[in-house]
Structure 1
Amino acid sequence: MATEAFEEIAETFAFLDDWEERYRHVIELGREMPPLDDALKVPATKVKGCASQVWLVPRIEAGRYDFAGESDAMIVNGLIAILHALYAGVPVAEVPGLDAEGELGRLGLQGHLSSQRSNGLRAMVERIRRTAAEAA
């Protein structure tokens, strides 16, 4: 089951009439994410498989998953924000089993992202799942 933050995004997407409005909303979500400290933008935190540069830094607190992230592309920052809404606060043991594809499918993103962006989104999900599984 999705987090409350992700449900809010899904409700907003359902309310917005067309993809251009949704696209602008994704970018706005990315702008609201705090920037990642430059010291954390290192090869170990960089996500391979993304067309743009993406860094994800996992944080596990009290058995719950969280992460910080940033990209050099505005739309990808928005995708990071959506993933943050989906995963932040989820018990770390539940993260690998969360149906990210199904939840993201509710937003209709796949039909509007380039194949490179879709591959990058999958790479970010896999990184999140892997880091959570390692921490569990």
Structure 2
Amino acid sequence: MELQDLVDTFEFLDDWEDRYRLLIDMGRDLPDFPDEARTEANRVDGCTSNVWLITDVEETTPPRLHFRADSDAFIVKGLVAILLKAYSGRTPQEIMDTDIEGLFNQLGLGKQLTPNRRDGFFAMVKRIHGLAASHSDTPANA
């Protein structure tokens, strides 16, 4: 499912219970995450739930970053799936240029998520931006 398809699906589902079910299903569809990568170094700071994130770099010009992630919480795994759809396979500049806050608002997540989940979502974004910046000439907060 592409990002626009996701937005369209969320708009079609007018019941938040159905949207949460979709998030949980998206989280269940995440690829397996290696147990050996569940380390403190790969854990995302700022998330109440445990979230682990690793990056594989495709050495192209510019490089493309592929992310794998997992969480121990069902809804958070769905949020992880959204972020992977938005960012994985993109160049550092494409990552920095993605309007993730706009997507977050289009999906209506700001109105439905607890403040802790919202903060965790943006902690994951910050980590991804930092990883993108480490493979780019563009600073993370540009």
**Structure-2 separation of matches of 1:12 and 1:46:** 30
**TM-score scaled to structure 1, two decimals?**
0.92
Q: Does structure 1 residue 59 correspond to structure 2 residue 56?
A: yes
Which residue pairs with 2:139 in the alignment? Answer: none
**Structure-1 separation of matches of 2:69 and 2:133:** 18
Q: Is the 8 A contact 1:96 1:130 kept in 2?
A: no
Which residue pairs with 1:128 in the alignment? Answer: 128
Q: Which amino acid aligns with 1:66?
A: H
Q: What is the CA-CA distance between 1:54 and the residue it aligns to?
A: 0.3
Task: Flag as ranges the 4+ runs of structure 1 deviating above 4 A.
Answer: none
**Structure-2 separation of matches of 1:110 and 1:59:** 30
**Structure-1 separation of matches of 2:57 and 2:8:** 28
Q: Cα RMSD (Å) of the superposition? A: 1.2
Moved more, 57-66 or 81-90: 57-66
**Structure-1 separation of matches of 2:66 and 2:92:** 9
- Give the number of equivalent residue pairs: 133
Which residue pairs with 1:16 in the alignment? Answer: 13
Give unpaired runs (5+ residues) of structure 2: 137-142
Alignment of 1:73-112 (within 5 A): 73-112=73-112
Q: What is the CA-CA distance between 1:33 and the residue it aligns to?
A: 0.2
Local SS of the residue matching 2:42: coil
Q: What is the CA-CA distance between 1:64 and the residue it aligns to?
A: 1.7
Local SS of the residue matching 2:128: helix
Q: What is the CA-CA distance between 1:110 and the residue it aligns to?
A: 1.0
Query: Identity across aligned pairs (percent)?
Result: 42
Q: What is the CA-CA distance between 1:103 and the residue it aligns to?
A: 1.5
Give unpaired runs (5+ residues) of structure 1: none
Q: Does structure 1 residue 45 correspond to structure 2 residue 18?
A: no
Q: Is the 8 A contact 1:70 1:77 kept in 2?
A: yes
**Structure-1 separation of matches of 2:84 and 2:10:** 16
Q: What is the CA-CA distance between 1:35 and the residue it aligns to?
A: 2.3
Local SS of the residue matching 2:123: helix
- The CA deviation string for residues 11-61 of structure 1, in whole angstroms up to 9 with x for no partner, is 111111211110100000000001210101111110011010000111221
Q: Which has the higher contact order (CA 8 A, sep 6+)?
A: 1
**Structure-1 separation of matches of 2:80 and 2:112:** 16
Q: Which amino acid aligns with 2:102?
A: G
Q: What is the CA-CA distance between 1:92 and the residue it aligns to?
A: 2.1
